[in-house]
């Protein structure tokens, strides 16, 4: 690992993921030398405090990345498409949290617990951070795939509003207050009322009837696992939860894998915590995972409808492991390779 301090830029410094990145950089004692918070002209001039020192947010431009070693992007796909190449050209390793480059053949798509080796091949200087729902699912499924080889995945997600940003968090809070105060509910961020409701749409619908969010899970799973033969189908649902995504995952394997064997594999897997004692009502929930780094797995049981199937319940904090933490872990792997 390189010894000198690392100069880090955070693009989208005032957003929910950007704010979490600052926390994680400090918590994990990432060797930051200079820290450069960047955002749009609208947010430029705002102040952030990191490790007791105040920093002024600067406006993002194509010239922002001189002497930057690591550029963490979390400001939207169009911003990444425009500015990430400039950061890479200036010599920074770009770790992009958007979907802008995920499926590009010359950009590695990385979950460190699953395919850390992929970061070595980054000809464009860009590494993509996967979709939050894909990350937590594959952290749990990779050790099972190595043991019994996955044939098919059927996943239904129950995704917190924080995955849609600060405005979405505010909308759930406001709608909840309005309903209790007998006021009309206003929908701005979501297409339907989210308070006390479930919305079976995340992102836009495409020609095959799936949403973009659902197809991200399909395509990203194959790329990260390095196996196009894995069949995946997904249904993504937004639920009135502030933090942490939950997933019901049904997996069919090529070889038998018992629930007990799966539990043992998962207990020794990096980044995984097994919480699975239904008799004592012990299983992971979104509240349990919020603010935590691990991916939590429970309700592990045999699928009685197929020969080699298991059902799992997977929960993780979408802003931490699903975004900011995964990006910082990638940065740590980059330093290990330097």
Q: What is the pLDDT of residue 3?
A: 60
Pair of tokens at residue 132: 């939050």
**Domain limits, the chain:** 6-130+323-337, 134-318
**pLDDT value for 25:** 98
Q: Which CATH superfamily is domain 134-318 in?
A: Dihydrodipicolinate Reductase; domain 2 (3.30.360.10)
Catalytic residue among 62, 117, 132, 145: 132
Long-range contacts, 47-52 (Cβ 8 Å, 24+): 48/13, 48/14, 48/19, 48/22, 50/22, 50/25, 50/26, 51/26
The secondary structure of residue 320, as a DSSP letter, is: I
Does residue 198 carry a catalytic annotation? Answer: no
| pLDDT value at residue 13 | 96
pLDDT at position 4: 78
SS3 229: coil
Phi-psi bin for 291: left (phi > 0), alpha (psi -120 to 50), beta?
Answer: left
Contacts of 279 (CB under 8 A, 6+ apart): none
Catalytic annotation present for 187 = no
Distance CA 294, CA 123 (A): 31
Q: What is the pTM of this model?
A: 0.95
Residue 337 has a pLDDT of 86
pLDDT score, position 109 = 98
pLDDT of amino acid 2: 57
In the set 7, 145, 243, 245, the catalytic residue is 245
Superfamily of domain 6-130+323-337: NAD(P)-binding Rossmann-like Domain (3.40.50.720)
Say how far apart CA 11 and CA 60 lie, in whole Å.
7
Shortest CA distance to 161 belongs to which of 202, 131, 129? Answer: 202
- Coil, strand or helix at 26: helix
Mean pLDDT by 10 residues, the chain (338 residues): 82 95 97 97 95 96 98 96 98 97 98 97 97 98 98 98 95 98 97 98 98 98 97 98 98 98 98 97 98 98 97 98 98 93
Say how many C-beta atoms besides its own lie within 10 A of residue 32's C-beta. Answer: 18
Question: Which ranges in 112-155 belong to alpha helices (H)?
Answer: 112-115, 132-148
CA-to-CA distance for 261 and 271, rounded, in angstroms? Answer: 18
Residue 233's nearest CA partner among 248, 215, 207, 259 is: 215
d(CA 47, CA 62) in angstroms, rounded, equals 21
Could you tell me which residues are beta bridge partners of residue 232? 153
């Amino acid at each position: 690992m390189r010894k000198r301090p690392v100069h880090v830029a955070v693009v989208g410094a005032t957003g929910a993921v950007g704010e979490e990145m600052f926390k994680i950089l400090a918590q994990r004692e990432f060797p930051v030398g200079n820290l450069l918070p960047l955002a749009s002209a609208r947010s430029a001039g705002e102040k952030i405090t990191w490790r007791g020192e105040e920093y002024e947010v600067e406006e993002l431009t194509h010239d922002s990345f001189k002497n930057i070693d690591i550029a963490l992007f979390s400001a939207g796909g169009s911003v990444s498409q425009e500015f990430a190449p400039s950061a890479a050209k200036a010599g920074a390793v770009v770790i992009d949290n958007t979907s802008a480059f995920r499926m590009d053949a010359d950009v590695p798509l990385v979950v460190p617990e699953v395919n850390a080796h992929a970061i070595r091949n980054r000809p464009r200087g860009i590494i993509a951070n996967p979709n939050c729902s894909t990350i937590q699912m594959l952290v749990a499924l990779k050790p099972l795939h190595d043991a019994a080889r996955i044939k098919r995945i059927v996943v239904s997600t129950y995704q917190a509003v924080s995955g849609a940003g600060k405005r979405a968090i505010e909308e759930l809070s406001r709608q909840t207050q309005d309903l209790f105060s007998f006021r009309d509910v206003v929908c701005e961020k979501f297409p339907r009322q989210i308070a006390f409701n479930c919305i079976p749409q995340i992102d836009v619908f495409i020609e095959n009837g799936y949403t973009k969010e659902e197809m991200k899970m399909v395509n990203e799973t194959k790329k990260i696992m390095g196996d196009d033969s894995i069949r995946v189908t997904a249904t993504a649902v937004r639920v009135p939860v502030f933090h942490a995504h939950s997933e019901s995952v049904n997996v069919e394997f090529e070889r038998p894998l018992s629930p007990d064997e799966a539990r043992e594999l998962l207990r020794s897997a990096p980044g995984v915590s097994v919480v699975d004692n239904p008799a004592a009502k012990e299983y992971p929930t979104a509240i349990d995972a919020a603010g935590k780094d691990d991916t939590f797995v429970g309700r592990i049981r045999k699928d009685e409808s197929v020969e080699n199937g298991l059902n799992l319940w997977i929960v993780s904090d979408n802003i931490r492991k699903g975004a900011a933490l995964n990006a910082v872990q990638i940065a740590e792997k980059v330093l290990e390779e330097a």
